[in-house]
């Protein structure tokens, strides 16, 4: 699992988690979160505790966190 610099910044900004908790949080997102949409083999989105996590798969099938959004009650509408 890889966290991009942008992904780390968004976790800190939107969730308020310290750096040492980022990897542990993303592991729980991947294991307990609901798969929202999948666009081919390379990109997928997971919803977990009111946040939408956007991932891309590496060539070795390792997930890479791109960014995190807070979502409204309707999953499709994102709040910026």
pLDDT, position 8: 95
Q: Which residue has the tokens 């942008």?
A: 6
- Taking only the tens place, the pLDDT of each residue in 37-78 is 887 778 999 999 999 999 999 888 899 999 999 987 665 555
Domains and CATH numbers, the chain: 2-79 (3.30.2310)
Residues 6+ apart with CB under 8 A from 54: 43, 45, 65, 66, 67, 68, 69
Side-chain half-sphere exposure of 29, counting CA atoms within 13 A: 28
What's residue 22's pLDDT? 95
d(Cα 46, Cα 29) in Å, to the nearest integer?
Answer: 7
Q: What is the pTM of this model?
A: 0.84
């Amino acid at each position: 699992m890889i966290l991009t610099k942008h992904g780390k910044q968004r976790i800190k900004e939107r969730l308020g988690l310290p750096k040492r908790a980022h990897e542990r949080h993303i592991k729980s997102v991947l294991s307990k979160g609901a798969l929202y949409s999948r666009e081919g083999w390379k990109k997928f989105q997971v919803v977990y505790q009111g946040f939408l996590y956007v991932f891309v798969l590496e060539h070795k099938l390792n997930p890479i966190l791109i960014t995190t959004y807070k979502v409204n009650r309707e999953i499709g509408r994102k709040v910026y």
